[in-house]
Amino acid sequence: MARKAPAPWILSVDIGTSSVRAIVFDKDGRAMPDLLAQIHYAMKTSRDGGVEADPEILSHNVESVIDGALARAGPSASEICAVATSCFWHSLIGVMSDGRPATPVYIWADTRSSSMVHVLRQHFDERAVHSRTGCVFHSSYLPAKLLWLSRTVPEVFRRTARWMSFGEYFQGRVFHRYLCSHSMASATGLYQQNSRTWDTELLRFLDAAPEKLSPLARLKETLTDMEAAYAARWTALRSVAWLPALGDGACSNIGCGCISPERLAIMVGTSGALRVMHETESIEIPEGLWCYRADEKRFLIGGALSNGGLLYTWLRETLQLGDSVALEERLAAEQPDQHGLTMLPFLAGERSMGWHSEARGAIVGLSVHTRPIEILRAGLESVALRFAQVADAIREVTPGIREVVASGGALLSSRTWTQIMADVLGHLVIASGEKEASSRGAALLALESLGFAPGLDAFSASMGEIFEPDPGKHEVYRRARARQEQLYSLLINQT
């Protein structure tokens, strides 16, 4: 199959919060599943809200999947013309002047900096900052994390020469050069979306000069001339272009074909997100939603949930329900909201819409009659109900949405959950047929930026099963949503 795929090829590396994979795509944007390598791993967590990764272990995992993909390609690896990288947004690592890590890799789910949000709000007009950065003050973004580090580990903060995402750090290991794409920068909370520059006012307050961040780079500004050890290890990649790492959410939208305001992307992996893409020179950032970039000309408007597949896995394991076809059948047999439970799914704090880092999960309505499968069903429904809030806000600023496209391993592995989403949203949901949406999106952007395609609309995305909403179930969920919002108001939204 590999020999028949049209060249040139793109090696796409996808660095996620639960796995790392590398896969090859051909010139037509089609994945070659025979040339896939993947490693699963787990973040280190702590009781105080810490969620982090060891940069050495994570780097080793990325190197290993690249090794694996190249080994599977064999001599055909010579068809690879570029390496594209999709990496989780909102990560932070401090790097010393000699290139060694000064800190672990902190990710969006780490809430230890939540106390700094109040400090930031005392010094800045949050609405003004949001209107230019597209980000509110929250523990998932870099302003709170940098302020927290400067106050809790000042000696580490002082000896850090550069602050960056993990994608930048890994590429710096390979090339001894750091570049930050506008896509990755746009989700830091330190970047001005319309002027495409670092926000100097915030950086000045955080004692983090622009020189301590990676230079902003266009996608066409590729990395070449890798370090000798890597050139010897990956001979097929010695002369190819490496694009700056891109945000995984933007890549996912592109990979599943949601590249215009007519298509809303819903993704549920470990976390979850709703995103719609706009191609325009500048944008007015709506309140309540975030705004990031896919590249220099494409914006994404949306909302994010910290608790998606993470909640499903935690409930399934905690309730000892196993992982089987029978479990999916039991979930499907439960009727909408029949359990009578109201759940706030905030195991890892809240992002959209209220942005309370310190929020925690709650279940109300338990009785001696409540069964474990009902608690799991209530959890899946609770996530969908939170998505409905975000969807309503997006529809207000993007009224022309015609289709909702679903992606993400957690959601698409459960037909029941996908149907719940359609019933809660009251909108037809189409399952994406692209199993590697983030990897594919990074590859398509590479093909476009390197001149192998006239635009992203030259590639069509595969679509799968269609889930029609049930009006009666939608009405049941509308009432369940009202209960959830009332519980949220009582327990979370008291400030």
pLDDT in tens, 109-143: 999 999 999 999 999 999 999 999 999 999 999 99
Residue 17 forms part of a structural domain: yes
In a domain, 375, yes or no: yes
70: domain range?
A: 2-248
Surface-to-core class of residue 221, CB atoms within 10 Å of its CB (0-12 exposed, 13-18 middle, 19+ buried):
middle
CATH code at position 190 = 3.30.420.40
- Please report the pLDDT score of residue 414 as a whole number: 96
Helices (H), 334-400: 372-397
Cβ atoms 15, 86 nearer than 8 A: yes
Burial label for 41, CB within 10 Å (0-12, 13-18, 19+), is middle
**494 — pLDDT class (breaks 50, 70, 90):** low
242, 263: one domain: no
Instruction: Assess whether 264 and 197 both reside in one domain.
Output: no
Question: Are 233 and 347 within one domain?
Answer: no
Q: Please check whether residues 238 and 277 belong to one and the same domain.
A: no
Nearest one of 249, 376, 255, 368 to 311, comparing CA atoms: 376
- Position 14: which residue type? D
Do the domain assignments include residue 439? no
User: Residue 357's pLDDT is what?
Assistant: 87
Average pLDDT over residues 327-354: 95
Three-class DSSP category at 267:
strand
Judge whether residue 1 has pLDDT over 60: no
Mean pLDDT of 376-388: 98
Is 328 part of a structural domain of the chain? yes
Do 231 and 267 meet the contact criterion of CB atoms below 8 Å apart? no
Residue 378 lies in a domain: yes
* Closest CA relative to residue 104, chosen from 30, 50, 183: 50
- Same domain, yes or no, for 158 and 263? no
Classified as helix, coil or strand, 177 is coil
- φ, ψ (nearest 5 deg) of residue 494: -105, 0
Tell me which amino acid residue 282 is: S
Between the CA of residue 253 and those of 23, 259, 418, what are the distances in Å?
Answer: 18, 7, 17
Residue that is last in its domain, among 248, 277, 307: 248
The model's confidence at residue 4, banded by pLDDT at 50, 70 and 90, is confident
What pLDDT was estimated at residue 495? 47
Q: Structure pTM?
A: 0.92
Q: What's the mean per-residue pLDDT of the chain?
A: 95
pLDDT recorded at residue 469? 97
Checking if the pLDDT of 15 tops 50, the result is yes
Picking from 336, 340, 345, 338, the residue whose alpha carbon sits closest to that of residue 314 is 345
DSSP state of 109: T
Tell me if 253 is assigned to some domain: no
Question: Residue 79 is which amino acid?
Answer: E
What is the tally of structural domains in the chain? Answer: 2
Residues 178-189: pLDDT tens digits? 999 999 999 999
Q: Is the pLDDT of residue 106 over 90?
A: yes
Would you say the C-alpha torsion 324, 329, 330, 334 has a positive or negative sign? positive
Instruction: Work out the average pLDDT over 219-230.
Output: 95
The neighbouring-strand residues paired with 77 are none
Confidence of residue 68 (pLDDT cuts 50, 70, 90): very high
245-292 confidence digits (pLDDT tens): 999 999 999 999 999 999 999 999 989 999 999 999 999 999 989 999
Contacts of 437 (CB under 8 A, 6+ apart): 251, 252, 255, 256, 267, 407, 408
From 216, 248, 280, the end of a domain falls on 248
User: Tell me, what's the pLDDT at 493?
Assistant: 72
Reported as a single tens digit per residue, the pLDDT across 464-480 is: 999 999 999 999 999 99
Q: CA 437 to CA 248: how far, in whole Å?
A: 9
- 28 is a domain residue: yes
**Based on the domain organization, do 216 and 318 belong to the same domain?**
no
> What is the predicted pLDDT for the residue at 2?
46
Per-residue pLDDT at 96 exceeds 90 = yes
Are residues 243 and 262 located together in one domain of the fold? no
- Considering the domain boundaries, does residue 169 fall inside one? yes
Same domain, yes or no, for 271 and 206? no
Is residue 291 within 8 Å of 283, Cβ to Cβ?
Answer: yes
- In a 3-state reduction of DSSP, which class is residue 217? strand
**Do residue 272 and residue 391 come from a single domain?**
yes
Please name the residues in contact with 70: beta carbons below 8 A apart, sequence gap of 6 or more. Answer: 11, 77, 234, 236, 237
Q: Distance (Å, rounded) from C-alpha 495 to C-alpha 358?
A: 12
pLDDT given for residue 91 in this prediction: 97
Kindly state the tokens that stand for 209.
């000069």
Q: Do residues 262 and 244 share a domain?
A: no
| 293 plus 194 within the same structural domain | no
B/e letters for 112-135, b = 16+ CB within 10 Å, e = fewer, are bbbbbbebbeeebeeeebbbbbbb
Structure token pair of residue 114: 């939540």
Q: Are residues 26 and 150 both part of a single domain? A: yes
* Domain termination site, one of 248, 268, 290: 248
